[in-house]
Structure 1
Amino acid sequence: MVEVKEFEGLRPKNPKEFCTKPYDVISEEEANELRKNTNTAINIILPVGEGDEKYENAKKEFERLKEDMIRDEPSIYLYKEGDEEFSHRGFILCASLEDYEKGLIKKHEETREKPLQDRIKHIEAVKANTGLVWTVFKRNDEIKKLMDEIMIEKPVYDFEKYENRHILWKINDEEKINKIKELFKDIPLYIADGHHRIAAAWHYWKKYDDGEAKY
């Protein structure tokens, strides 16, 4: 039902230092504190400046920081976040915007023009997706089993921040990747968070007719 695929990810060498909360839940006070460290993602996801200047600043910061990042081979990732009482996990992968257009990736809220234009301009400047679109799906025993198998392996990240533990596994095994692709063909996805991010990605794809931007 939904086409998914692997991608060439860029990863920081020090994720605990680099990572921040999502851009839309960071207060001005938190942002100012984060900007004291030039090795965080804050000036990419929440750049300073007025008008189009801030998007150009985001681009410059992304170009600077990516020089020292790890560039992975085409992969899918499994991410787990939480504490001892509650945690969730999911795959980080590319999904087809054509399936979003067809309504196979289902939304539950409408987008607002101002934040939508902000995300469109950000993608146009940075030429990268710097935030995730969170989707959910109904319980699937085969996916659960595959996740359990992957979690036995050694993760590429395992650190604590914002009172949660964050663990990331890289999946570059062709057999596992093909298994994930096959499983998601029969699963409808529901957007839990990221309506403006996915809508902006769709607008970018349609505007520039960029084949790679389809995902």
Structure 2
Amino acid sequence: MVDIRPFKATVLNPELDIDKLICPVYDTIDATNYQRFARERNNIIHVTTRRKDMDRDEFIGYAKENLDRLIDSKVLVEREKPALYIYGIKYTVQPEILIQIPEEDRESQYFALGLVCLVRVEELGARNIAGHENVFEINTKERYRLMKACMMNFSPIAVEYSMSDHGLNNILKEYLGFKRSASGAPDKPPLVDAALNGSRHLLWEIADENLIEKIMNMVSDLKILILDGHHRYTASCLMKETDGIEYTVMMLMESDDRALLLLPWHRAIRNFSIQNLEHKIKEKFSIEWQSEEYSEEFYAQLRERKSEYDIRIGMYDGKRFSVLRADEKAVQELLKQHREGVGIDLMVLHNWLINPVIKKPEEDVSFNASPAEAISRVRSREFDVAFFLNPLSIRDVERKAFVERNNFPQKSTLFLPKVAEGIVMRSIK
């Protein structure tokens, strides 16, 4: 049983210019972006995100000091009554990322809705809550120490659920009084309305006790899968075990929502023998397609699959784009060895092309959300070869988590949209 609860949200004071006070989730911020957001003294980044050159112990004290200052100065305020919340994210996808999506699924603008609530923490994979990516203990401990020092959840953990009749999404849309078209507008004014990096983040409050009760009953038999926030969730598990804090904040999104996108991370590699790589390609692959141009046809060829064992990897070597097709018999043998049926593309890429040729993966493999970024790294000669993957489906990830009960390696799945830090927070009582 999934146990959810309403809570009193902590939000940025709506009388302020909150566009300047929010920031992306901490683990998506590089050094350049940190400097950009940290210029504003009251930006929530000073509480949520450790500067790369800052000691971990120093960061915890720095974050607590800034949180106290933001609360004392009324930059952060708490709502009066416990409630559930609707979080809406209106966003667009850059053309170099959109090209990965089949043309019939592309939208000029996406609008995702989710229910924000407290969810009772349980061991991952034990009953109703599962994850799909491995975590690093050092990152979990840092999130735990931050939560413990500040007694605050700073952003909801993004999770997905399946509901065949779309009942929860229908309730949320009916409550807001609009249909989610690109030009549609809700009848109810939002509690929070902020812009971040070209996306718009909106928050509405559900305080009606009867409706809250109805929603609590509706979601009780769901199974939920963590999309973003594995370290925050494992930190919440540690907080339950160590401090008796039973709940954490989540944003529940329906898996069939067309605005919930699942994209791949692409790899670029360097410091390897090109002859060795060429040998590995000849050993297990045929070259299905080549061109000097980066085009729609490249992705059409990459997406083409004639059977479940037809695995294709895109490659760019600085001169031409290629689609490598793996030997199907070898793929079947690989699956027998691993006893897994989801994430075959990743297994093929790493087992046959990356791991055998790279000596220092932590230094010589880069992960790129944008294909254009991976291509640019090769063209600038920072890296030598880029590899491109097809996206997994939500159903694949659910199967990995709930049926196979295994995790993907880190940087296997890129979910959009991303929540922001500072839109909806929760003071841990």
Who is 1:4 aligned against?
Answer: 4
* Per-residue CA distance 1:55-87 (angstroms, 9 max, x = gap): 011111111112312211211110110235212
Contact 1:4 1:94 in 2 (8 A): yes
Further displaced range: 119-128 or 190-199: 119-128
Partner of 1:77, secondary structure, is strand
Who is 1:201 aligned against?
Answer: 236
Aligned-partner Cα distance in 2 for 1:101–1:27: 31
Who is 1:162 aligned against?
Answer: 197
Aligned-partner Cα distance in 2 for 1:70–1:116: 27
Which residue among 166, 170, 175 is the counterpart of 1:150? 175
Partner of 1:93, secondary structure, is strand
Partner of 2:122, secondary structure, is helix
Contact 1:4 1:96 in 2 (8 A): yes
Partner of 2:152, secondary structure, is coil
* Per-residue CA distance 1:91-112 (angstroms, 9 max, x = gap): 1111000375733111112221
Aligned-partner Cα distance in 2 for 1:99–1:120: 16
Greater fraction of residues in strand: 2
Identical pairs, percent: 22
Aligned-partner Cα distance in 2 for 1:109–1:36: 33
Q: Does 1:96 align with 2:120?
A: yes
Spell out structure 1 runs of 4+ moving beyond 6 A.
none
Who is 2:156 aligned against?
Answer: 132
Distance 1:93 1:99, change over 3 A: farther
Unaligned 5+ segments in structure 1 are none
Which residue among 35, 40, 45 is the counterpart of 1:32? 35
Unaligned 5+ segments in structure 2 are 92-107, 178-187, 249-429
* Per-residue CA distance 1:106-128 (angstroms, 9 max, x = gap): 11122211211111111121111
Larger RCO, structures 1/2 (Cα 8 Å, 6+ apart): 1
Which residue among 74, 79, 89 is the counterpart of 2:87? 79
Partner of 2:23, secondary structure, is coil
Residue 27 of structure 1: how far off its partner (Å): 1.3
Q: Does 1:186 align with 2:216?
A: no
Structure 2 length normalisation: TM-score?
0.47
Residue 159 of structure 1: how far off its partner (Å): 3.3
Residue 16 of structure 1: how far off its partner (Å): 1.6
Which residue among 48, 57, 65 is the counterpart of 1:60? 65
Alignment-mate amino acid for residue 238 of structure 2? H
Q: Does 1:109 align with 2:105?
A: no
Structure 1 length normalisation: TM-score?
0.91
Root mean square deviation of aligned Cα: 1.8
Distance 1:97 1:39, change over 3 A: same
Contact 2:122 2:129 in 1 (8 A): no
Greater fraction of residues in helix: 1
Contact 1:135 1:193 in 2 (8 A): yes
* Per-residue CA distance 1:7-40 (angstroms, 9 max, x = gap): 1111101332211001111111111122211111
Contact 1:156 1:170 in 2 (8 A): yes
Alignment-mate amino acid for residue 180 of structure 1? I
Alignment-mate amino acid for residue 31 of structure 1? Y
Further displaced range: 72-81 or 39-48: 39-48
Q: If you compute each CA radius of gyration, which structure gives the higher value, 1 or 2?
A: 2
Contact 1:202 1:214 in 2 (8 A): no
Who is 2:77 aligned against?
Answer: 70
